[in-house]
């Protein structure tokens, strides 16, 4: 309906005016045959306002003016849209030309890169051939030098072999004389060594006996010291365990007392003898991180009151001994108010 009025505003105004006129005729009660006679009645008469022709023309002029304004705005909007479309088309063409130029530049650079790569490959191949030729010539020169050195070495070996034989003959003569002197010296040395060996054996036997006695005494002293240390350590461990158990019991009692002081017993549960098991996870400073009822009392209000009491008791007491604190990071205790 609104779209219909917006498209035909003049027809809508005329329809409204026609209905107003018909309503006015019905209210006034116009009689076209006889002049109206005044009727005396206690009914309140509704006065209808008749729209004159000048006012109607003025309203029609306003409607036409509004329609012309909207048409002008629509035309301006269409013109702006056409301009924007034209600008968009121009930017698209410019972008297309820029992309084509970039592609051409990329192709030129790619072609230049390929040419440079081919030139580099050609130079490398030439360098490789030159290096191989140089290596071949060096190998030939090395083989010639090796052949020459081999001949010189053979001549040298023959000369050395001759000198060696002469030296060997001389050495054998000297060796024979040396062996004879060595045999004599060995006989004397054997006699001296036998006497020295006997003395050393006696000395070693004496020292071994002394060392055995010393080690036995040290082992006995070490055994006695170890037994003493073990007894001391066992006693210290027992004392430490006793102190730890006492501190743990004290902290557990403090936790239970604090929770029970804060706990508010649900009405009607005092005579039921209820109890529940609770698991509590604590932070390093005793802050309550998590509370769970792991064994219910059978009464939801009782269980919730215990959880609430544990949370309100935050933070819970913790051991002063740092070594015992990890044992209290997760606690499980039975809450039995009896």
Both tokens assigned to 319:
């051991």
pLDDT in tens, the chain (338 residues): 667 667 777 777 788 788 888 877 776 655 555 555 555 555 555 554 555 788 888 888 889 899 999 999 999 999 998 999 999 899 989 999 999 999 999 999 999 999 988 998 999 989 899 889 998 999 988 998 898 999 898 989 998 999 898 989 899 989 988 998 898 899 889 888 988 998 998 999 899 988 988 998 888 889 888 888 888 888 877 888 888 889 888 988 898 898 889 888 888 777 788 889 999 999 888 899 999 999 998 999 999 999 999 999 889 898 988 888 888 889 888 887 76
If residue 322 lies in a helix (H) or strand (E), which one and from where to where?
none
Measured in residues, the chain has a length of 338
Omega of the bond prior to 2 within 30 degrees of 0, cis? no
Verdict on whether the full-model pTM lies above 0.85: no
- CB-facing half-sphere around the CA of 65: CA atoms within 13 A: 6
- How far apart CA 327 and CA 312 sit, in angstroms, is 22
Would you kindly state where each structural domain of the chain is located, as residue ranges?
Answer: 249-335
**What CATH number was assigned to the domain covering residues 249-335?**
3.30.1150.10
CB 260 within 8 A of CB 312: no
């Amino acid at each position: 309906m609104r779209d219909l009025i917006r498209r035909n505003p003049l027809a809508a105004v005329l329809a409204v005016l026609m209905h107003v006129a018909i309503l006015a005729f019905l209210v006034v009660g116009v009689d076209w045959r006889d002049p109206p006679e005044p009727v005396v009645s206690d009914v309140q008469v509704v006065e209808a306002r008749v729209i004159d022709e000048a006012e109607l023309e003025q309203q029609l002029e306003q409607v036409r003016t509004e329609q012309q304004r909207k048409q002008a705005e629509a035309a301006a909007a269409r013109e702006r849209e056409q301009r924007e479309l034209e600008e968009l088309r121009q930017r698209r063409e410019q972008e297309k030309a820029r992309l084509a130029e970039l592609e051409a530049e990329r192709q030129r650079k790619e072609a230049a890169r390929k040419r440079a790569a081919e030139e580099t490959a050609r130079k490398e191949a030439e360098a490789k051939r030159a290096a191989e030729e140089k290596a071949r010539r060096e190998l030939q020169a090395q083989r010639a030098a090796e052949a020459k050195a081999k001949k010189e070495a053979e001549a040298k070996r023959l000369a050395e072999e001759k000198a060696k034989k002469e030296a060997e003959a001389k050495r054998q003569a000297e060796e024979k004389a040396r062996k004879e002197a060595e045999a004599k010296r060995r006989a004397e040395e054997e006699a001296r060594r036998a006497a020295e060996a006997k003395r050393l054996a006696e000395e070693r036997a004496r020292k071994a006996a002394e060392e055995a006695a010393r080690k036995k005494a040290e082992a006995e002293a070490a055994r006695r010291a170890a037994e003493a240390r073990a007894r001391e350590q066992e006693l210290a461990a027992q004392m430490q365990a006793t102190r730890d158990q006492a501190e743990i019991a004290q902290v557990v009692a403090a936790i239970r007392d604090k929770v029970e002081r804060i706990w508010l017993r649900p009405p009607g549960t005092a005579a039921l003898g209820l109890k529940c098991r609770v698991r509590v996870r604590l932070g390093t400073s005793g802050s309550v991180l998590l509370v769970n009822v792991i064994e219910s009392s059978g009464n939801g209000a009782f269980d919730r009151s215990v959880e609430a009491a544990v949370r309100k008791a935050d933070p819970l007491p913790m051991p002063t001994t740092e070594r015992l604190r990890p044992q209290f990071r997760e606690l499980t205790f039975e809450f039995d108010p009896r």
